[in-house]
Every structure is written in C-alpha cells, then in structure tokens.
Amino acid sequence: MKQVVSISIGSSKRDHSVELELFGEKVHIWREGTDGDMDDAVRRLREYDGKVDAFGMGGIDLFLNAAGRTYWFRDATRYRDAVTATPLLDGSGLKGAVEGDVVRFMQEDLKLHLAGKRVLVTSAVDRWGMAMGLRDAGCEMVYADMLFALGIPIMIRSYPALVRFVHILAPLAVQLPFKFLYPSEADHTTEVEHESKHAQLYRDADIIAGDYKYVRKYMPADMAGKWIITNTTTAEDVEFLRSVGVELLVTSTPRLEGRSFGTNVIEATLVAVEGAHSALDPARYLELLKAVGFAPDVLWLQRG
C-alpha cells in the first residue's frame, strides 16, 4: 500500500484520513496538523522520511510561481532540508495546471458563462493559474494581493500593474515570516463574528476566488448568490457557506469522504502512484487526474 502524509502547520482539528484504490493499488492518505508549531512539523517530517512514499506540505508554500518567476519562502527552507529520502510536495507544481483547468471545467463541463463576471481574487500570486484562467475567460478582475497578504487596502485592477507588483514585492515578501503573510487555519471559524470593514469588496463581486483561508477572512454575513472557487473545505465549511447564502462552491480538488484535500495532498498522491522522486510535469498531472477520475468538486449550495 502506498503511504501519503500531509504535514500541515495548520489546525489539527482539520485532520482527515482516507484509503483509495488508484490504478489497482491501495493508497492511504492522511493529514497531520501541528497547530502552528513549525518545529513539530520538522520533527514529523524527519520521523516519516523514508517510511512513506510522498509528503504533502500543508499550511505553507515552499515557493511561489507567478508572473514567469519562482520565489522561495525563507521560512520553508527548513522543511525542504528536513527530508532526504521522501519527495516533498506543497501543491505548487499542481496549482498552475489544476486551478487553471478548473476555469475550463466550469465553462465546458458546467456550461457556465464567465465572461463579464466580476471576480475578486484574494491573492493572484498564490493562485496564479486560477487568476489567469479567469482573466482569459473575460472576467472583470480585481486582484486583492496587497490587502489579503500585506494588509494594505489597495486593489490592483490591471494585468500590467499586477505583474509589476509581483516582480517588485514578491522577492521581499518571501523573506518575511510566513505567518505575517498567511492566516493560520485555526484562525477562521464557521461563524461571522462581525461585519468586516472590507465587506463591500465581496458585495461588488460575482465570484470570489482564492485560498479558503483568505476567502473566509473578510467574508460578510450576506453572501447571497455569490460563487466561490477555492481549495480545501471541510463539511463544516460547506454548511457555513450554505448558511450565508453562497450559491455555488467549486473546489479545485475532489471531495474525498466529505472533505476536499488541498493541492499538496493531491500532488503528493500523484507523485506516489507514479513512483516518482520529485514533482511531475504539469501536463502529466492532468493526464493522471483524468485517468483516475479526479475532477473539481461542484456544490450548488442553495439547491439541496
């Protein structure tokens, strides 16, 4: 049996375990959260190194691929250095292929008309493939990287400005402690505690796209009719989104036994079943996903 473990610096309350059969072989996939303890994450990586077929690294990216360049996070090098035998995947190799393809899926498989839709992308640099897919589909784009990642309430509304922003600030941002850029999974709840001062951004958008922790961050109590394109969501997250009126939830990765795993888990699983020792070519990921029947998960939340 193949063994795939995602070590996440996020909340242990979101841990999950499943067994699948892929290409005639059983695969055990599970997640272990460390509740923000980075030293514990390093310890677990060393403990499992050489004993499992692939690692997913959750709650933190090893690097960013955006605007034609790659940027490595300073805080992530300790995880890369902690393993020597087992491949370590953070989902970045899969994001561009899968999250760009989710837009094609919405247009061709779901027959949804996206051109002209107003889209709030919480962080394009974090979800470059998704952002570019929506842009190419003819959506009206608002890139909120400066707000969600840096706390600066300035919106980017053009592609050239976005590229300039990435090339200037990304090399600096990846040197910051990761917790300054990215909210912990333990920070968001399934309740709206107060009306966000940035609620109007959500009201002005038809679609909110990005990592769920960012999508949830400033979400208002009334999300009636909104579409969300995101990644990892639990059954509790789904019910919360239903309760605030979200119409459509599309997750870029499939839902396995009630929970959509992150791209790091899916990437690690594909590397494991391929028997590879490192990340695969993006085209190969799409081939494998199609072969095993993995597709984006689609939930019309107001239709039962």
What are residue 300's phi and psi, to 5 degrees? -85, 100
Q: Which of 58, 29, 35 is nearest to 45 (CA)?
A: 58
**What is the H or E stretch that residue 150 is in?**
helix 145-150
Going by DSSP bridges, is the β-strand pair 297-300/248-251 parallel, antiparallel, or unpaired? antiparallel
pLDDT tens, residue by residue, 145-170: 999 988 899 999 999 999 999 999 99
What is the C-alpha to C-alpha distance for residues 199 and 50, in angstroms, rounded to an integer? Answer: 47
What pLDDT does 55 receive? 98
DSSP letter assigned to residue 276 = -
- Nearest of 301, 234, 297 to residue 15 by alpha carbon: 234
- C-alpha dihedral (152, 91, 57, 83), degrees to nearest 10: -120
Task: Kindly report the CATH number that applies to the domain delimited by 95-255.
Answer: 3.40.50
Strands (E), 226-273: 227-230, 248-251, 255-256, 259-260
pLDDT tier, 61 (very low <50, low <70, confident <90, very high otherwise): confident
Q: What is the pLDDT of residues 222-272, one digit of tens each?
A: 999 999 999 888 889 999 999 999 999 999 888 777 767 788 999 999 999
What are the backbone angles phi and psi of residue 216, rounded to the nearest 5°? -75, -20
> Are the C-beta atoms of residues 6 and 33 closer than 8 Å to each other?
no
Contacts of 172 (CB under 8 A, 6+ apart): none
pLDDT tens digits along 271-284: 999 999 999 998 89
pLDDT of residue 142: 98
Q: Is the pLDDT of residue 187 over 50?
A: no
- Span 27-50, pLDDT tens digits: 999 999 999 899 999 999 999 999
In the chain, where are the structural domains located? 2-92+261-295, 95-255
CB 42 within 8 A of CB 82: yes
Q: Nearest Cα to 14, choosing from 40, 39, 32?
A: 32
